[in-house]
Amino acid sequence: MADEKSLHFLEEIVERDLKEGKYTGIATRFPPEPNGYLHLGHAKSICLNFGLALKYGGFTNLRFDDTNPTTEETEYVESIKEDVRWLGYNWANEFYASDYFEQLYTFALRLIDKGLAYVDDSSSEDMATQKGTPTKPGVANQYRSRSIEENRQLFTDMRAGKYKDGEKVLRAKIDMAHVNMLMRDPVIYRIKHAHHHRTGDAWCIYPMYDFAHGQSDSIEKITHSICTLEFVPHRELYDWCIQKLEIYPSHQYEFARLNVTYTVMSKRKLLTLVNEKYVNGWDDPRMPTLSGMRRRGYTPESIREFCDKIGVAKRENLIDIGLLEFCVREHLNKIALRRMVVFNPIKVVLTNYPEGQEEILTSENNPEDPSTGVREMPFGKELFIEADDFMEVPAKKYFRLAPGQMARLKSAFIIKCDTFVKDANGSITELHCTYVPESRSGSDTSGLSVKGVIHWVSARHAVPVEVRQYDRLFRVEDPALIGELADALHPDSIKVTTAMAEPALQSATKADRFQFMRTGYFCLDADASEKKLIFNRTVTLKDMWAKETAKGK
């Protein structure tokens, strides 16, 4: 019996519309501009739009808002499609605003014929001046009173390529003194002699967002057009166009965009990170892009769960990145295969283990999911363990190895540290331990009980692998508050080291998710090859001991 989850405000609107019989089914759309890669903020929008249609019976179109040929590229179209699919959603139709250019042009003519649009020859500077400010009304210029015939001719000539970029624009004729700046005769068409990624050189005039988006919604009979809060002032213009054009009345609703601590979500800033080479491309595992997160090892399930948990509302928010990490740990804990990898090895010699002997031990692949079975681990006289798992002088509450102390090697034997060897620098290089033969996991008759359990690999069988340990990209909670993006960067957002892995990892595939026991969740990186295994750390395991030791400092 699942408890009723309360509805967010958009679900309430949809339910009310459905109940009142306004619609029999809903239609939404996800409308990215193909000028960058999708990020976590887009995921929120995708989950919302597709989720609503899925929940209430309807469909979602993927519509590329490609009205600005100078910034848009096919490369982005492909990545966007891949990311939406990866997140787990299927669009009903793949559309482009550019599919509607001819229709939109007709709409513009309709406005002209109604005396609701005019061609303006002003420079953009002059237009800005004439527009006034939020507190000062704008003023009309001489072009505003051009005749319908003249406007028609001029606009037709604009399309025919008779003018250069910036020479003329088409403006809606609304109200230069309107309290909403966007209603002060907004530009709806501009001249751009530029190659468009889909329409090629067919057009030299392109509609502005406000004369393309709502109309596209209307053409597709979108019932609920959902966007972020910064478009609230556009709604008035959105409705004006639909009303004057007398076309299908789609409605716009706005929600608060996603912000996450220690990251940035603006396309401009992400582009800067890529262009200035602060990261290695859009899919750098430190990026909050979906391609970056995918490469890092995030699962679509965990991202969807995150989007569900953060909710949908209208107030500005800054979500703790810890919630994202919680979501991915929660999922990975259920599906990741357990493996042992020693990051900072010291050698352990089992002095009472017969010389030359080896045996095969087994260990669960995933205790959360017994159906995943076990894998085999070779065991021998010489092992590697984590340097951190030994303390010459144990701290209080430390219950791993120390001189005279015992610990269990996970899935193997209990060992006791007898002596240790130091090198010339005073750092510990080797531990000499004795193992308890009758303490073998699964058939332990030793009667001993030890609290410390540590991971290990057989020295002779250990496989060196590269591990890329990522940390947050920014050192401050809200990088937007720092003027220069570079100043907000975390200096150690990536640490590359070589670690010693158990042999089972040699058969890792790119689809596998691993938990390196007691360390974190990892996956094979795209750069990995048969010869060289490279693992990305998706997220660390929660570490209460680290917290405990930090307290003392």
Partner RNA sequence: UGUCCUAUGGUGUAAUGGUAACACUGCAGAUUUUGAUUCUGCCUUUCUAGGUUCGAAUCCUAGUAGGACAACCA
Residues numbered 204-263 forming contacts with RNA, rule: CB under 7 A: 206, 208-209, 212-213, 229-234, 256
> What is the spatial distance between Cα 549 and Cα 546, in angstroms, rounded to a whole number?
5
The edge-to-edge listing of strands for the beta sheet with 93-96 is: 26-30, 58-64, 93-96
Site for RNA in 322-361 (CB under 7 A): 322-323, 326, 329-330, 333, 338
What does residue 333 show for φ and ψ, rounded to 5 degrees? -60, -35
Shortest Å distance, C-beta 455 to RNA: 7
Among 398, 459, 485, 494, binds RNA (CB under 7 A): 398
What does residue 251 show for φ and ψ, rounded to 5 degrees? -125, 140
Among 52, 65, 468, 524, binds RNA (CB under 7 A): 65
If one asks whether residue 68 binds RNA (CB under 7 A), the answer comes out as: yes
Tell me the CB-side half-sphere exposure of residue 362, using CA atoms within 13 A. 10
Q: Give the number of other CB atoms < 10 A from CB of residue 88.
A: 13
**How many residues bind RNA, per CB under 7 A?**
94
Q: Which stretch binds RNA (CB under 7 A): 107-115, 152-160, 438-446, 458-466?
A: 438-446
Among 94, 320, 359, 487, binds RNA (CB under 7 A): 320
Site for RNA in 123-152 (CB under 7 A): 123-124, 127-128, 131, 133-135
Catalytic residue among 11, 33, 382, 477: 33
Q: Which stretch binds RNA (CB under 7 A): 141-149, 280-288, 467-475, 515-523?
A: 515-523
Q: Locate 281 and state its tokens.
A: 């491309």
If one asks whether residue 439 binds RNA (CB under 7 A), the answer comes out as: yes
If one asks whether residue 160 binds RNA (CB under 7 A), the answer comes out as: no
If one asks whether residue 312 binds RNA (CB under 7 A), the answer comes out as: yes
- Do residues 523 and 507 lie in contact, with contact meaning Cβ atoms separated by under 8 Å? no
Catalytic residue among 267, 408, 472, 513: 267
In the bound state with RNA, the residue whose beta carbon lies nearer, of 116 and 310, is 310
Could you tell me where the beta strands, DSSP code E, fall in 475-540? 494-501, 514-516, 520-524, 534-540
190 a catalytic residue: no
In the bound state with RNA, the residue whose beta carbon lies nearer, of 291 and 411, is 411
If one asks whether residue 12 binds RNA (CB under 7 A), the answer comes out as: yes
- Do residues 435 and 350 lie in contact, with contact meaning Cβ atoms separated by under 8 Å? yes
If one asks whether residue 316 binds RNA (CB under 7 A), the answer comes out as: yes
Q: CB within 8 A of 234, min separation 6: which ones?
A: 182, 209, 210, 252
- Do residues 522 and 335 lie in contact, with contact meaning Cβ atoms separated by under 8 Å? no
If one asks whether residue 445 binds RNA (CB under 7 A), the answer comes out as: no
In the bound state with RNA, the residue whose beta carbon lies nearer, of 27 and 324, is 324
33 a catalytic residue: yes
Shortest Å distance, C-beta 516 to RNA: 8
Q: Locate 108 and state its tokens.
A: 């513009």
If one asks whether residue 102 binds RNA (CB under 7 A), the answer comes out as: no
Shortest Å distance, C-beta 530 to RNA: 28
If one asks whether residue 181 binds RNA (CB under 7 A), the answer comes out as: yes
The edge-to-edge listing of strands for the beta sheet with 428-436 is: 453-454, 406-409, 414-422, 428-436, 345-350, 382-386, 456-458
Among 22, 25, 55, 71, binds RNA (CB under 7 A): 71
If one asks whether residue 368 binds RNA (CB under 7 A), the answer comes out as: yes
Binding mask 473-512 for RNA (x = CB under 7 A): ----------------------------------------
- Do residues 344 and 388 lie in contact, with contact meaning Cβ atoms separated by under 8 Å? yes
Shortest Å distance, C-beta 107 to RNA: 15
If one asks whether residue 157 binds RNA (CB under 7 A), the answer comes out as: no
> What is the spatial distance between Cα 519 and Cα 341, in angstroms, rounded to a whole number?
8
If one asks whether residue 161 binds RNA (CB under 7 A), the answer comes out as: no
- Do residues 521 and 328 lie in contact, with contact meaning Cβ atoms separated by under 8 Å? yes
If one asks whether residue 319 binds RNA (CB under 7 A), the answer comes out as: yes
Among 19, 315, 531, 553, binds RNA (CB under 7 A): 315
Among 397, 483, 529, 531, binds RNA (CB under 7 A): 397
Among 400, 468, 472, 537, binds RNA (CB under 7 A): 400
If one asks whether residue 408 binds RNA (CB under 7 A), the answer comes out as: yes
Catalytic residue among 257, 269, 314, 416: 257
> What is the spatial distance between Cα 310 and Cα 312, in angstroms, rounded to a whole number?
7
In angstroms, the Cα distances linking 98 to 3, 61, 81, 412, 439 are 45, 15, 17, 64, 71
Q: Interhelix angle for 321-335 vs 300-310, to 10°?
A: 140
In the bound state with RNA, the residue whose beta carbon lies nearer, of 206 and 282, is 206
Shortest Å distance, C-beta 508 to RNA: 17
In the bound state with RNA, the residue whose beta carbon lies nearer, of 367 and 370, is 367
Element (H, E) at 127: helix 124-131
Q: Whose structure tokens read 């988006």?
A: 213
Q: Whose structure tokens read 């509450």?
A: 397
Shortest Å distance, C-beta 480 to RNA: 9
- Do residues 442 and 431 lie in contact, with contact meaning Cβ atoms separated by under 8 Å? no
Shortest Å distance, C-beta 497 to RNA: 19
**Number of separate helices (H) and strands (E) present in the chain:** 14, 25
Q: Which stretch binds RNA (CB under 7 A): 145-153, 369-377, 459-467, 542-550?
A: 542-550
As a three-state string, the secondary structure of 42-57 is HHHHHHHHHHHHHHHC
Q: Give the number of other CB atoms < 10 A from CB of residue 378.
A: 16
- Do residues 108 and 151 lie in contact, with contact meaning Cβ atoms separated by under 8 Å? no
In the bound state with RNA, the residue whose beta carbon lies nearer, of 531 and 551, is 551
In the bound state with RNA, the residue whose beta carbon lies nearer, of 415 and 489, is 415
Q: Coil, helix or strand for 494?
A: strand
What positions carry a catalytic annotation?
A: 33, 257, 267
